[in-house]
Amino acid sequence: MIRRNTIQKNLILNTVHDLKKHATADDIYNIITQKQPSVSKATVYRNLNILAEEGKIRKIEVAGGPDFFDYICEKHFHVRCIKCGQIFDVELEPFPELKPSTRNSSSMQFLDYDILFKGICSDCQETN
Ligand SMILES: [Zn+2]
Ligand SMILES: [Zn+2]
Q: What average pLDDT does this structure show over 108-118? A: 87
| Whether 89 and 115 share a structural domain | yes
User: Is pLDDT above 90 for 128?
Assistant: no
Rounded to the nearest whole angstrom, what is the distance from the C-alpha of residue 20 to the centroid of ligand 2? Answer: 9
| Whether 84 and 122 share a structural domain | yes
| Whether 9 and 24 share a structural domain | yes
Residues 17-60: tens digit of each pLDDT: 999 899 999 999 999 999 999 999 999 999 999 999 999 999 99
Q: How many domains does the chain have?
A: 2
| Whether 57 and 10 share a structural domain | yes
Ligand number nearest to the C-alpha of 76: 2
| Whether 82 and 66 share a structural domain | no
| Whether 39 and 66 share a structural domain | yes
Each as own residue / partner, the long-range contacts of residues 7-16 (CB below 8 Å, 24 or more positions apart, any chain) are 8/36, 8/39, 8/43, 8/47, 9/47, 9/50, 9/51, 11/35, 11/36, 11/39, 12/44, 12/47, 12/48, 12/51, 13/47, 13/51, 13/56, 13/57, 16/48, 16/51, 16/57, 16/69, 16/70, 16/71
Residues 60-79: tens digit of each pLDDT: 998 888 999 999 988 889 99
Ligand number nearest to the C-alpha of 92: 2
Rounded to the nearest whole angstrom, what is the distance from the C-alpha of residue 3 to the centroid of ligand 2? Answer: 30
| Whether 49 and 92 share a structural domain | no
Structural domain harbouring 16: 2-70
Q: What average pLDDT does this structure show over 5-16? A: 93
Ligand number nearest to the C-alpha of 122: 1
Residues 90-112: tens digit of each pLDDT: 988 777 777 888 887 678 888 88
| Whether 40 and 63 share a structural domain | yes
| Whether 65 and 81 share a structural domain | no
- In terms of Cα–Cα distance, which of 44, 87, 49, 50 is closest to 65? 87
